[in-house]
Amino acid sequence: MKKKPIKYAELDIESIGFEGVAVSRLEDKVHFVKGAVPGDKVIARVLKSKSRFAECRVEQIIEKSEHRIEPECIYFGNCGGCTWQMLNYSEQVKWKRQNVIDSFERIGKVEVPVYHPTATSDMIFNYRNKMDFSFGALRWFTSEEVNSDDVFEKKELFLGLHAPGRFDKIVDISLCLIQNATANTIFKLIKNKAIATEMKAYHPYNREGFLRGLVIRHSVKKNEFMLMLITNEVQSENEEAFLNWFANDLQKIEPKITNLIHALNTAPNDANIDSIKILNGPGYITENILGVDFRISPLSFFQTNSYQLDKFIGKIAEYAEIKSDDIVWDLYCGTGSITLPIAQKSKKIYGFELAESSVLDAKSNAELNKINNAEFYAVDLHTKAIPDLLNSIEKPDCIIIDPPRSGIHKNLLNVILEIAPEKLVYVSCNPATQARDCEILAEKYDILEIQTFDMFPQTYHIESIAKMRKKAQL
C-alpha cells in the first residue's frame, strides 16, 4: 500500500481554542496546531485533513511570537503534565478567560453581562499539592533521542509520567516543577533507592514487576507530606526490604514526611487499588480552607492548588449570598470543601456526592470542626430516581453545583428547573459543558457575572464560577 505524502503548511497563529490547541486559518480551512502560540509563524505538519479543518503539529518555528518564552522544564513537550510552559503567564490567563467567553457565546449562546479578569495564581510553579507518578519497565524516548547516535543504558525501572496517549511508556524524570520543591527531594530519594536496590518496575505486557506508582501529597498549612507507594504483591526478600526501608527509614531522612501508605494493585489496570495499609502516621494530612480544617486521607479528592483555595471558595460563597436562615444544597459536594465553609453562614446545608469515601471524609471533617448543620448523602445524582430523593428534602434557597467535566446530567437539570431556587452558583472546570448546561438553565435563570480562576498554571485548564439568579418574572 502506497504511503500518503506528508503535507506541510505555513501558518500564522491567531488564537488558542479548545483544550489549549492553537488556531490558524488558511484558505477557508481552520488549522488546529499543537505546540504553537498566538503570534507564531510556523511550518506545521498536517496530521489529519478534513474538508473544514486540519489537525497539525509544529515542525519549525519561522518567527517566534512575542508571547513565546523558553519553558522552565527540560521535559516539557514530552511528559504532558504541562501544556503551556512556552506561553508567558499573562497570556495564559488571558486565553483561559477567552475560552470561557467563546464557550458561552458559541455553545451556550447565553448573555453574560460581566466576565471578570481571571484570578491569577500566586504560585505558577511548585503549586500542586498532589502528584501521581508511575513506575514502568518501558521508557519513552523523544524524537531527538531516537534520531541521535547516543547509546542509552539498558534499565528496567523508570519513574515519571506516562507519555501522552501511551499506557505502556514512561517519561523518565528527575523532578517536576509544578510540585513542591521538597516533594522533588522525596521523589529523588525513592527513585535512587529503587535503582540502587535493583527493584523491578511493573511491566504492562508480561505483568511482572513490583513497583507500580508513587503518590506524593503536601499540606500547605502544616508543611507535611503523605506518601503512598503502590506495588504488586511482595514476592522476594529484596522487595520486602525495600518496603521496610520505605516504612521505617525514609522519615529519618526527611522528617516532613508524616504519613507512609502502602497500596496494593495486582490488576492490569494502573488505576486499580486492591487495598491500602497505613505503615506510619495517622493516615491523613490536614489542610485548611477559610478556617475549616480538612483531613485528607490517601484516596480523598482535594483541589490540587491549596494556594488559591481561600480565594476560590470565598468567591463561591460571595456569589451564593448566603443568609443566616438559608437552606443550601451542594451538588457534587466531594469531601465538603465548599459545603463546610458555607455551612458556617447558613441555617442548613445538604451535600450530595456519588463516592461513599468522599462522603465519609465530609462527615468526618464536619465532626472535626464541630459543624452540626451539614448533612451528607452518598447518591448518584444522575439516576432517574433522583427527583424522589431531592423532593423529600427541604427546599433550598440556594443551590451550588460543581459537577465533573461532563457537566450536569439532564435528569438533575430537570429537577433544578422544577425546584427553581432563587439563587444558583455553577462552578465548573469545563467551560464547554458549563455553557451547554447554562443554555438549558436559561429557561428560568439569568447569569449576572462570571469569575474565572486559574487553579492550574502552565496548563490550559480553568475554573469558572457563574453567579445565576432566577428571572424576575418567574
280 and 310 share one domain: no
100 with 183, same domain? no
Residue 73 within a domain: no
In a domain, 298, yes or no: no
- The catalytic residue positions are 429
Between 263 and 3, the higher pLDDT residue: 263
Q: Are 268 and 204 in contact (CB under 8 A)?
A: yes
Q: What percent of the chain has pLDDT over 90?
A: 86
> Are 115 and 154 members of one domain?
no
Q: What is the average pLDDT across 391-408? A: 95
| Band of residue 151 on the pLDDT scale cut at 50, 70, 90 | low
294 located within any domain: no
Place of cell 509544529: 58
What pLDDT is stored for residue 1 in this prediction? 56
Give the model confidence (pLDDT) of 42-66 as tens digits: 999 999 999 899 999 999 999 999 9
> What is the average per-residue pLDDT within 21-27?
93
Lowest mean pLDDT among 5-19, 102-116, 199-213: 5-19
Q: Please determine, for residue 7, whether its predicted confidence score (pLDDT) is greater than 60.
A: yes
Which sign does the torsion angle of CA 427, 100, 49, 43 carry?
A: negative
At residue 157, the pLDDT reads 94
| CATH number of the domain where residue 13 is located | 2.40.50.140
260 and 335 fall within a common domain: no
Choose the final residue of a domain: 238, 259, 288: 288
pLDDT at 431 over 90: yes
Task: Assess contact for 338 and 313: CB atoms under 8 A.
Answer: yes
* Assigned domain for 454 exists: yes
Percent of the chain past pLDDT 70, that is, above it, reads 98
Residue 204 lies in a domain: yes
Write down the pLDDT at residue 300: 87
Please report, for the domain that includes residue 447, its CATH number. 3.40.50.150
**In this structure, are 197 and 248 located in the same domain?**
yes
Whether 144 has a pLDDT exceeding 80, the answer reads no
Domain shared by 1 and 117, yes or no: no
State how far the alpha carbon of 94 is from the alpha carbons of 7, 37, 316, 353, in Å.
32, 13, 21, 33
Domain boundaries, position 209: 130-288
Do 398 and 428 lie in a common domain?
yes
Residues 266 and 281 in one domain: yes
Among 472, 454, 346, which residue's Cα sits nearest to residue 399?
Answer: 346
> What local confidence, expressed as pLDDT, does residue 149 receive?
66
Residues 337 and 361 in one domain: yes
Q: Kindly report, residue by residue over 165-178, the tens digit of the pLDDT.
A: 888 999 999 999 99
Interval 336-386: pLDDT, tens: 999 999 999 999 999 999 989 899 999 999 999 999 999 999 999 998 888
Q: Tell me the pLDDT tens digit for each residue of 270-290.
A: 889 999 999 999 999 999 999
Please give the average per-residue pLDDT across 75-102, as a whole number.
94
CATH of the domain at 271: 2.40.50.1070
The total number of structural domains in the chain stands at 3
Instruction: Quote the pTM value.
Output: 0.93
Q: Has residue 448 been placed in a domain?
A: yes
How high is the pLDDT of residue 146?
Answer: 73
Same domain (yes/no): 361, 433: yes
Task: Give the model's confidence band at 27: pLDDT under 50 very low, under 70 low, under 90 confident, else very high.
Answer: confident
Give the separation between CA 251 and CA 255, rounded to whole angstroms: 5
pLDDT of the residue at 474: 59
* Domain end position, chosen among 288, 323, 358: 288
Does 293 fall in a domain? no
322, pLDDT greater than 90? yes
Same domain, 110 and 235: no
423 pLDDT band, cuts 50/70/90, is very high
pLDDT mean over 118-147:
91
Position 322 in a domain: yes
Residue 331: band (very low, low, confident or very high) from pLDDT cuts 50, 70, 90: very high
In whole angstroms, give the CA distance from residue 170 to residue 191: 14
Final residue before a domain boundary, out of 237, 253, 288 = 288
Contact present, 22 and 38 (Cβ < 8 Å): yes
Q: In this structure, are 146 and 267 located in the same domain?
A: yes
pLDDT for the residue numbered 2? 62
